[in-house]
Structure formats: C-alpha cells, structure tokens
Homo-oligomer: A and B are copies of this chain.
Amino acid sequence: MFYISLVLSLSAYPKIRPKQPYPMVNKTQHSSNCAACNCKASIFKNLSPLEIELINSSRFQVSYKAGEIIFKQGTPSPYFVCVTSGLAKIYIEGYGKNLILALIKPVDYIFGPGIYVDNRHYYSAAAVEDCTACLVDVTVFKKLIRENPDFAEEFIKRVSLQSIFNFDQVISLTQKQMHGRIADVIFYLSDKIYCQNPFEMTISRQDLADLSGMSKESAIRILKEFKEEGILTISSNTMEVLNTKQLRQISETG
C-alpha cells in the first residue's frame, strides 16, 4: 500500500551508536543555532537565512533512550521531528502486531500525514537506539510551506519519493514470500540505513519481523537458512552479506 508516509531518508548514516546509556535530557534546551548546524535536514536547503532563523526560534532539542516512545499513534501532533542522532522507527500499531514503515536516521525527519488533516498521529514513533531530536512547531512549518514555493515543492517531492518507496514496500509485503521479504529488509538495512556491509544490527529480531510483516520466529528461521546457504553471516548482531547476487535473486523471485 500501499505507500505511505511523509518521511524521508536521503543522507548517509554516519556511525553506529554505541550502546552506552545517554544522560536523560528531557528538558528544553536551545543548543547551537540552526544556521550553523551540520545536522540540518536537507529539506531545509531552500530556506533563506531569515526562514532558518524562524525554524530555529521555535525549535527545541530532546533526548530519547533506546526503547522510549517518541510519540504515539492517535495522539495530537504539534511537532515536526528531526532526528539528529541515533536511530528511530515509525510503526503502525495494527491488529496485535506492529508494522514498521521505516527506520529514521540522522538527519531525517518524521512528519506524519495527520498534520494536514486532523493533527493526529497515524503511526507511532520510538527510539531504536538512543536518539536526539529537534522538534519544530508545525505552524512554523506550515507557514513556510505557504510562503516559500521552493520549499513547498521540495516537500511535495519528498512526500512523493516516500510514496514510491512505499509502493515497493507494499508489493514486497503482499506479493513476496518470506525469503523475498527478508531479503528486501536486509537490502534496506545495508543499503539505506546502516550503509556498510558488515553492519551491526541495532534493531531487534522483533523489529526485523515487524519490518517484513511476519512472525519473529519465521524471520529467525529464514535468517538461519540464509546462514546455512552461505548467503550471509551473523555473529552477535553483526551481519555481513556474503552473496549479494544470490540475495538479490531471492528478492526478485519472491
């Protein structure tokens, strides 16, 4: 499905975050100015210095520990969330299980479709690794959409890209068997999220299952088969794809 949300992943994943606990900082703290920030989401590239300052003035920073919920499906949604470090997931809470729509890494944003409808979240978001994020008031965001056509166009473009990504996702979920779906998720992780080949999977097996729309046990079994066939190795959550070509073929033959 279909396609899906207003989230984008365009930048490279910098470095795997060590699992050391962060100090909890949940109070508002204006850190360095947006204009000078190297964690600025690329969607803001078309904004003037004045407009950046507008974003900056309504912005505040929050830290989340791994596992913490960032926002919950059904709740009101007054913020544009920009993930500046760590890894988060957005997921729909369905009938007894979750479907992960995407993983969000720095510097990407989370901006649900409810904001232009009824100001509610239509999916939940949670920190997979310890995260920091900048929150921006949506009214500022909407104001800029109205006032800056380049920004509006860029936004629509990103929404469109996300739709296209989601088309592939729905087809994978509804028309491929488990092997193909797991293959797709592995490519998503290695190419789009961790962007390395031997990569440390900071997501759980349950998350892997929620990404591929199957039970945790099934996901584990497929992984085991892939190991036995020499397609990949896993040791203590570090996965390496050994036979990309074969994995690609599994993805394509469903």
Give the B-binding residues of A (Cβ under 8 A): 1-6, 92, 94-97, 99, 101, 113-117, 122-123, 142, 145-147, 149, 152-153, 155-157, 159-161, 163-164, 166-167, 169-171, 173-176, 213, 254
- What is the oligomeric copy number? 2
Residues of B within 8 A of A167 (CB): 4-5, 92, 122-123
Inter-chain contact A92/B171, CB cutoff 8 Å: yes
Could you write out 28 A-B pairs with CB less than 8 Å apart?
A1-B4, A1-B166, A1-B169, A1-B173, A2-B3, A2-B4, A2-B5, A2-B99, A2-B101, A2-B166, A3-B163, A5-B167, A6-B160, A92-B170, A94-B171, A94-B174, A95-B175, A96-B254, A99-B170, A99-B171, A117-B161, A122-B163, A123-B167, A142-B153, A145-B149, A152-B152, A166-B166, A170-B173
Inter-chain contact A163/B5, CB cutoff 8 Å: yes
A254 to B97, CA, bound (A): 12
A113 to B165, CA, bound (A): 10
A248 to B247, CA, bound (A): 41
- Give 4 nearest A-B pairs by CB, closest first: A3-B4, A1-B2, A2-B2, A1-B1
Shortest beta-carbon distance from A94 to chain B in Å = 4
A160 to B111, CA, bound (A): 11
Residues of B within 8 A of A169 (CB): 1-3
Inter-chain contact B160/A113, CB cutoff 8 Å: yes
Q: Given A170-B170, A171-B95, A173-B174: A156 and B116 within 8 A (CB)? A: yes
Residues of B within 8 A of A1 (CB): 1-4, 99, 101, 166, 169-170, 173
Residues of B within 8 A of A5 (CB): 2-3, 163, 167
**Chain B residue nearest in CB terms to A1:** B2
Inter-chain contact B152/A117, CB cutoff 8 Å: no
Inter-chain contact A170/B117, CB cutoff 8 Å: no
A95 to B166, CA, bound (A): 16
Inter-chain contact A99/B156, CB cutoff 8 Å: no
**Chain B residue nearest in CB terms to A163:** B113
A156 to B169, CA, bound (A): 22
Q: Given A152-B146, A157-B117: A6 and B163 within 8 A (CB)? A: yes
